[in-house]
Structure formats: structure tokens, C-alpha cells
Amino acid sequence: MSAPLEHASSGRSLRAFLVLMLVWLAAMTLWFALQASVWIVGALLLVSLPALIDFSTGRSAWLRLDDRILRWGSGGATGEVALTRIALARFETRLDFSIRVRLVLDDGRRITLPQDSLPPHPRLQEALQARDIKTERHHFGLI
């Protein structure tokens, strides 16, 4: 029996705050110091709104893996799958260097785990392998 793997994260973190402040400071600098167009500044602020909403609401994400079941949650969405149903876990490196994890079930269905609920991928891959779940690494796939 392996120890359960538990991971939790929150949208309300120091890192999120610093990134938001950096983006908003850059937008204000562009606007006031460089007299950038309001459309450019507005677009920069608009793309930061989802992060601002996550930070202000304190959105949480989590993942728990034990010897029987894998459970996860992100915001209001949750999911779970029995380990006996998982045929394969695919770790896919995307073009932005983020790691996407897809579970391939015994019936061929694929479940993509929410990005914000994932622990560091080496920890998750080791925990799955310790529970005899086959894992694969795929680098820079477009699909």
C-alpha cells in the first residue's frame, strides 16, 4: 500500500498576486508613460480578468490519489475514476511547455484532468506507476 498522493492549490497565492500586479503595472506604464492606445491597454487588462476573478474568489483545485480511486476537483467541477478502470495515463507536453494529463480508460474513453488540479508531473507519474498504472510521455503533440 502506497501513501496517498494529495495536492491542493488556490487561485489566491502570492505568485498569482505578483503576476497580476506585474501585468497591471505594465498596462498602466504603457498607457501613462508610453501613451499606448486604449485598445492595447484594454486587451492586456481583458486577458488578465480570468486570473483576477480566480484570485478574488480564491478558487481552489485539488487531486487525491489512493490505492483504489483517483479524485479531482477544480472550481465547482469534480470527478473521480477507479484505478482499475485506468488503462493508461498519458503525460503530454504541449507547445507552451505545460503538461496535460489524460487518462485512457479501459473502454477507450479519455478524461483530461484539469490543469490547475495537477501536482508536479514527476510526483504524479511516480505515484501512478507505484500503483501499477501504465504511463506514457508524449512531447509537443498538436492534438
DSSP alpha helix (H) spans, 8-138: 14-32, 38-47, 49-57, 121-130
Q: How many domains does the chain have?
A: 2
> What residues contact 143, with CB distance under 8 A and at least 6 apart?
none
Provide mean pLDDT across the span 117-143: 89
Contact 91, 138 (CB under 8 A): yes
Asked if residue 88 belongs to a domain, the reply is yes
Give, to the nearest 10 degrees, the angle between helix 14-32 and helix 49-57: 140
Provide mean pLDDT across the span 11-39: 90
| Residue 13 pLDDT | 83
In a shared domain, residues 68 and 99: yes
Going by pLDDT thresholds of 50, 70 and 90, the confidence category of residue 143 is low
Is 22 a residue whose pLDDT tops 80? Answer: yes
The cell numbers describing 113, all together, are 484532468
Residue 42 CB: number of other CB atoms within 10 A?
Answer: 13
Is 127 a residue whose pLDDT tops 70? Answer: yes
In a shared domain, residues 69 and 118: yes
Residue 18 belongs to domain spanning: 10-57
